[in-house]
C-alpha cells in the first residue's frame, strides 16, 4: 500500500483539502475545549450549590461509573465507527458507511441495555458496598439510564466525526464524554433554573436533568445524521459489512479503552491505599494540570482519526505520514513551552491554581509532564492503530504497559512514596506505552508519527527571523 519514496515533511506538502479539514476541525476542537472548560466550571459551581456535599460526592462517583459502564456497553463501537465510516467514504462505498452506522446503533444499544440492566440489578449494590455509599444503590437505575443515553449519543456523534464533521461532533457530543456544547449548555441552564427557583434539590433530580439533556441532544443528533446520511450517493451493490466483522474490530478497542480508563484512575487508588490523603490531593491536583501539556495533541486527536482511516484505505501512506508528522511537530512547540513552565515553576503554579499547600506538588507535576512530553513527541500513534485495523496490537501494548505501570506504582509508593509512584506512572503509563505504540505503527503500517526535528528547527528559525 505504501507509496514509493520518502518526502520531506512540510505543511506545503499537505493537500489543500486535508489542510482545510485540519484547520477547520482544529479550530472547532480548540473552541470546544475552551468552551467546555467554562461549561464545566459553571456546572461544578452550580452542583455545589444545589446539592449537599455528601450528595455531590455520590454524583461524582456516579459520573465515573457512567463512563466505565458506557465503555463496556458500547462494545467499542464509539471508537470503531469512525474508522468504518471514514474508510468507506474514502473508498466511495457509501452503502457500507450507512450499514456501519446502522449496525453500530443496533449493537451498541443492545450492549448498553444488557450492561444497564445488569448494573441496575447487581452492580448498584456492589458499588454501594465498595464505596461505602448506600445512595449509589438508590440511583442505580438512573445511572444505567444515563449510561444508555451516553452510548447512543456517542455512536451518533462519532459517526459525524467519521463524516469529517467535527463541528457537529463538538456541538452535539455528550457532556459526560468531555465534549458537547448543547448537552452541557442544557445541563447548566437547567441547574441554574433549579438554583434560582428552589435553591436546592436532590441527587435523583440532578441525574434526571443530566440524562434528559443528553436525550434531547441525542434526538437532535439522530435527526441531523439521518439527513446527512440521506444525502450520500446511492449504491446498487450490497454493502459487504457484517455485524461479526464490526464486533471483531470493536472489542479490542473496548478492552484498550477500558484499560486506559483504569490507568487514568489507578494513581488515585494506589495513593489512597499506600499514602496519606494529602498525597492523594497533591497527585490529583498535579494530574489535572498535567493534561494541559498534551492539550494541543489531544485537539489534533479529535480531527485526525477520519483522515487517517480514509487516506490509509486509499493507500496514500506517504501523504499520511507527512500530515501526521507535521501535526505532531506543530503540537510539540506549545507543549514544550508548557512543560518548561511546569518543570521550572511547578511549585508556584500549583500554589496559584490550588492554594499554598499544593506548592509541594511541583515535583509531581514535573514528573507527570515529562511523560506527557514523550506522548506528544510520538504523535498520533494511538489514533493510527485504532483507524488502520491494528486494534489488537493496541490492546496488547495497553495491557502490558498497564500492568507494568500498576506493579511499578505499587512498589514505588511502598518504598519511595508519592514521587516513586509518580515516576512509574509517568514512565510506563505515558513514555514507554507511547514509544511502543509508535514502533508498532512503524512495523505494521510503515508509518512514522513522531516529531520531525528538521521541520521543528525550520519553524523555530522562521519565528526568530520574523522577530
- pLDDT interval class at 438 (50, 70, 90): very high
Q: What is the pLDDT of residue 163?
A: 85
Question: Using one digit for the tens of pLDDT, what is the confidence trace for 180-189?
Answer: 778 888 888 9
Non-local CB neighbours of 187 within 8 Å, separated by 6+ positions: 39, 43, 175, 209, 210, 213
Give DSSP secondary structure letters for 256-291. HHHHHHHHHHHHHHHHHHHS-HHHHHHHHHHHHHHT
Q: Is the pLDDT of residue 259 over 80?
A: no
- pLDDT interval class at 114 (50, 70, 90): very high
Report whether 305 contacts 90 (CB < 8 A): no
Q: What is the pLDDT of residue 465?
A: 56
Q: Is the pLDDT of residue 16 over 70?
A: no
Instruction: Give the percent of the chain with pLDDT over 70.
Output: 86
3-state DSSP call for residue 447?
Answer: coil
Q: Is the pLDDT of residue 37 over 80?
A: no
- pLDDT interval class at 145 (50, 70, 90): very high
DSSP state, residue 120? I
Q: Is the pLDDT of residue 57 over 80?
A: no
Question: Using one digit for the tens of pLDDT, what is the confidence trace for 379-408?
Answer: 888 888 887 878 788 888 988 998 999 999
Query: What's the whole-number mean pLDDT along residues 339-361?
Result: 85
Report whether 147 contacts 210 (CB < 8 A): no
Query: What's the whole-number mean pLDDT along residues 156-176?
Result: 79
Non-local CB neighbours of 315 within 8 Å, separated by 6+ positions: 1, 2, 3
Closest CA to 206 of 39, 49, 50: 50
Q: What is the pLDDT of residue 329?
A: 87
Q: Is the pLDDT of residue 99 over 80?
A: yes
Report whether 336 contacts 459 (CB < 8 A): no
Report whether 26 contacts 303 (CB < 8 A): yes
401 grid coordinates: 504497559
Q: What are phi and psi of 451, to 5 degrees?
A: -60, 140
CA distance 162 to 320: 17
Pick the more confident residue, 209 or 199: 209
Q: What is the pLDDT of residue 9?
A: 42
Q: What is the pLDDT of residue 322?
A: 87
177 grid coordinates: 464524554
Q: What's the pTM value of the predicted model, to 2 decimals? A: 0.72
Question: Using one digit for the tens of pLDDT, what is the confidence trace for 260-291?
Answer: 777 777 787 787 778 876 787 788 778 878 87
Q: Is the pLDDT of residue 110 over 90?
A: yes
228 grid coordinates: 446527512
How confident is the prediction for the chain on average, in pLDDT? 81
Greatest extent of the chain over all pairs of C-alpha atoms, in Å: 68
Grid coordinates 444508555 are at which residue? 148
3-state DSSP call for residue 174?
Answer: coil
3-state DSSP call for residue 165?
Answer: coil
DSSP state, residue 235? -
Question: Using one digit for the tens of pLDDT, what is the confidence trace for 298-329?
Answer: 777 777 777 887 888 888 888 888 888 888 88
91 grid coordinates: 473508498
Report whether 325 contacts 6 (CB < 8 A): no
How far is C-alpha 463 from the geometric centre of its chain's CA atoms?
Answer: 32
Q: Is the pLDDT of residue 178 over 60?
A: no
Amino acid at each position: 500500500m505504501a507509496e514509493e519514496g520518502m518526502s520531506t515533511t512540510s505543511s506545503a506538502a499537505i493537500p489543500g483539502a486535508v489542510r482545510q479539514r485540519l484547520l477547520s476541525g482544529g479550530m472547532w476542537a480548540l473552541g470546544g475545549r475552551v468552551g467546555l472548560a467554562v461549561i464545566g466550571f459553571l456546572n461544578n459551581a452550580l452542583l455545589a450549590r444545589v446539592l449537599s456535599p455528601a450528595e455531590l460526592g455520590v454524583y461524582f462517583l456516579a459520573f465515573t461509573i457512567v463512563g466505565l459502564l458506557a465503555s463496556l456497553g458500547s462494545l467499542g463501537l464509539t471508537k470503531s465507527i469512525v474508522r468504518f465510516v471514514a474508510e468507506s467514504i474514502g473508498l466511495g462505498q457509501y452503502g457500507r458507511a450507512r450499514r456501519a452506522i446502522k449496525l453500530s446503533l443496533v449493537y451498541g444499544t443492545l450492549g448498553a441495555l444488557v450492561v444497564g440492566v445488569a448494573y441496575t440489578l447487581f452492580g448498584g449494590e456492589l458499588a454501594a458496598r465498595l464505596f461505602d455509599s448506600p445512595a449509589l444503590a438508590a440511583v442505580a437505575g438512573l445511572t444505567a439510564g444515563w449510561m444508555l443515553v451516553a452510548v447512543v449519543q456517542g455512536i451518533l456523534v462519532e459517526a459525524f466525526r467519521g463524516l469529517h464533521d467535527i463541528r457537529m461532533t463538538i456541538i452535539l457530543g455528550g457532556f459526560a464524554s468531555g465534549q458537547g456544547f448543547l448537552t452541557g449548555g442544557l445541563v447548566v441552564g437547567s441547574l441554574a433554573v433549579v438554583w434560582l427557583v428552589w435553591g436546592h434539590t436532590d441527587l435523583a433530580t440532578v441525574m434526571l436533568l443530566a440524562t434528559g439533556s443528553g436525550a434531547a441532544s441525542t434526538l437532535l443528533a439522530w435527526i441531523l445524521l439521518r439527513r446527512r446520511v440521506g444525502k450520500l450517493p446511492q449504491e446498487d451493490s450490497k454493502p459487504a459489512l457484517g455485524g461479526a466483522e464490526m464486533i471483531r474490530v470493536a472489542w479490542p478497542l473496548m478492552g484498550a479503552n477500558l484499560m486506559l480508563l483504569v490507568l487514568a484512575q489507578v494513581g488515585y487508588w494506589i495513593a489512597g491505599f499506600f499514602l496519606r490523603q494529602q498525597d492523594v490531593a497533591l497527585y490529583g491536583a498535579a494530574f489535572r494540570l498535567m493534561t494541559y501539556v498534551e492539550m494541543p495533541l489531544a485537539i489534533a486527536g479529535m480531527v485526525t482519526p477520519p483522515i487517517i482511516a480514509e487516506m490509509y484505505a486509499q493507500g496514500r501512506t506517504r501523504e499520511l505520514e507527512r500530515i501526521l508528522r507535521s501535526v505532531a511537530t506543530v503540537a510539540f512547540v506549545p507543549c514544550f513551552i508548557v512543560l518548561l513552565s511546569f518543570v521550572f515553576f511547578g511549585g508556584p503554579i500549583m500554589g496559584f491554581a490550588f492554594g499554598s499547600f499544593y506548592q509541594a506538588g511541583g515535583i509531581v507535576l514535573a514528573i507527570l509532564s515529562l511523560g506527557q512530553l514523550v506522548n506528544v513527541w510520538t504523535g498520533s500513534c494511538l489514533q493510527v492503530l485504532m483507524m488502520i485495523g491494528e486494534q489488537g496490537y493496541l490492546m496488547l501494548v495497553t495491557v502490558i504497559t498497564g500492568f507494568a505501570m500498576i506493579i511499578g506504582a505499587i512498589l514505588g509508593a511502598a518504598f519511595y512514596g508519592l514521587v516513586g509512584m509518580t515516576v512509574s506512572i509517568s514512565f510506563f503509563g505515558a513514555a514507554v506505552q507511547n514509544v511502543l505504540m509508535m514502533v508498532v505503527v512503524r512495523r505494521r503500517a510503515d508509518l512514522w508519527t513522531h516529531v520531525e526535528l528538521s521541520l521543528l528547527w525550520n519553524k523555530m528559525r522562521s519565528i526568530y527571523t520574523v522577530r
